[in-house]
Amino acid sequence: MKNILIDKLNRQQAMIGIIGLGYVGLPLMLRFNAAGFRVLGIDIDFAKVEKLNAGESYIEHISPEKIAAACRSGFEATTDFSRAQEADALILCVPTPLTKHREPDISFVIGTMDLLVPHLRQGQVIALESTTYPGTTEEELLPRIEAAGFKVGQDIFLVYSPEREDPGNSNFNTRTIPKVIGGQTTACLQAGIALYTQAIDKVVPVTSTKAAEMCKLLENIHRAVNIGLVNEMKIVCDRMGIDIHEVIRAAATKPFGFVAYYPGPGLGGHCIPIDPFYLTWKAREYGVATRFIELAGEVNTGMPLWVVSKIIDALNDRGRALKGCRILVLGIAYKKNVDDMRESPAVELMEILREKGAEINYSDPHVPVFPKMREHRFELASVALTPESIERYDLILLATDHSAFDYSMLKEHARLIVDTRGVYQEPAGNIIKA
């Protein structure tokens, strides 16, 4: 079985199935399509499937032209999970959020696998890409596959290969970002390597699915901890009257032993605010307290409230109350120059400020209308930035530093700017750094 599968992959005669067509699955689909494979996309969202089959895109940095070209060369999207049996490779790219108690929610992984199991067949390779705790592939996917009568490593080949996407970063793409992969058995690893080497320039094998799962967590915990450190340093510098951004710029001139991380209003995106808690939860099963990671999480999750305290102080100094204040939030995506709203600290800031009685609007060229979200509800559209519109607000909250903003015009016409991103380096009477 393994040799037949690998031969089909090497000859590009295999069909690739991508389950979950979001920020991870859609670029992966395009990459395998560009490499010459037939690709079947499966998603539970009928509206997404309908758009893709019409050659349309719902992700800003993926053009409709690319989707239309993929459709012309054989890509098809469906909500029918029974068609999974047509694919030689099934790659799961589904969400792994946290529960309201900040514990792992792998219900999308389990639910997807349960939908796929009745339609599995011999000779398939199954790859999980969703970020999760070490042991998920072995403890959740493996038993479900073998309960259906398949022997993993002989009939079906199971691997874990964590997604590595950085939307908005033009220096890297799906093809050029090295791909870590771990297999449940040696045969599984060989099948997984054969799959990904067709589309990715460099594949990095590790000894197990657990090692690959831990690799992804380490990457993101590394960032979370260092961002937590610099966020704490920002608070210390603020109390001392020191500009943290000036300090970072100076420290970054050291050619060794220092990597620059930058503070902000909180953590955002689908990985950094979430992944550390996957490990802290799993570590408790082994009697290990991950105090360092949890402390960084506390610092980072506390940043929106710290920014609000800076807003209140800035208004008080000018004889204004937060209640009734008109605030325009600049940038509501989680990072600059993208439309991705997942876990955006700007949205949390909007909710806190609204609860305290402020009148909230936003401006974001990448998010023309506030989207429907599971936990956040605003009936708002992006405000066009003009001298007149800027002057109508009591306070401008710079939450995400998109390149499209005219920062000179903002500085000239805003009554008060609270800058959470260090955009403004020179002191000014109407600018407060937070």
**320: Cβ contacts below 8 Å, ≥ 6 apart:** 394
pLDDT at 167 over 80: no
- Residues 286-306 have pLDDT tens digits of 999 999 999 999 999 999 999
Does residue 225 sit within a domain? Answer: no
Domain that holds residue 121: 2-207
**250 and 316 assigned to the same domain:** yes
Judge whether 214 lies within some domain: no
* Residue 241 and residue 190 share a domain: no
Q: How far apart are CA 252 and CA 211, in angstroms?
A: 32
Question: 258 and 196, same structural domain?
Answer: no
The whole-angstrom separation of Cα 343 and Cα 363 is 18
CATH number of the domain residue 352 falls in: 3.40.50.720
273-285 tens-digit pLDDT:
888 889 999 999 9
Q: Residues 72, 169: one domain?
A: yes
Residues 280 and 191 in one domain: no
Last residue of a domain, one of 189, 207, 225: 207
Given this model, what pLDDT does residue 1 score?
87
- Residue 224 inside a domain? The answer is no
- Stretch 374-392: mean pLDDT, rounded? 92
Percent of the chain topping pLDDT 90? 90
The 10s digit of each residue's pLDDT in 31-83 is 999 999 999 999 999 999 999 999 999 998 899 999 999 999 999 999 999 99
Residue 386 corresponds to which amino acid? T
Give me the phi and psi of 125, to 5 degrees please: -110, 135
Assess contact for 106 and 96: CB atoms under 8 A. yes
Contact 214, 133 (CB under 8 A): no
Q: Is the pLDDT of residue 114 over 90?
A: yes
Residue 243 has pLDDT above 90, yes or no: yes
316 and 410 in a single domain? The answer is: yes
Q: Could you tell me the CA-to-CA distances from 310 to 303, 341, 382, 418, 419 in Å, in that order? A: 11, 24, 24, 8, 10
**pLDDT attached to residue 273:** 83
Same domain, 428 and 321: yes
Query: What is the torsional sign of CA 166, 164, 278, 219?
Result: negative
Residue 218 lies in a domain: no
Please tell me the least confidently modeled range out of 40-54, 179-193, 361-375, 395-409: 361-375
Phi, psi of 227 (to 5 degrees): -70, -40
Domain count, the chain: 2
- Within a domain: 228: no
Higher pLDDT, 59 or 271: 59
Residue 270's pLDDT is: 75
Residue 169 in this model has a pLDDT that exceeds 90: no
* Contact by Cβ (8 Å): 30, 74: no
Question: For the chain, what percent of residues have pLDDT higher than 70?
Answer: 100
Domain termination residue (choose one: 154, 189, 207): 207
In a domain, 332, yes or no: yes
The catalytic residue positions are 271
The pLDDT value given to residue 391 = 96
- pLDDT at res. 373: 79
Is residue 43 located within the same domain as residue 100?
A: yes
pTM of the model: 0.92
Considering the chain, what is the average pLDDT of its residues?
95
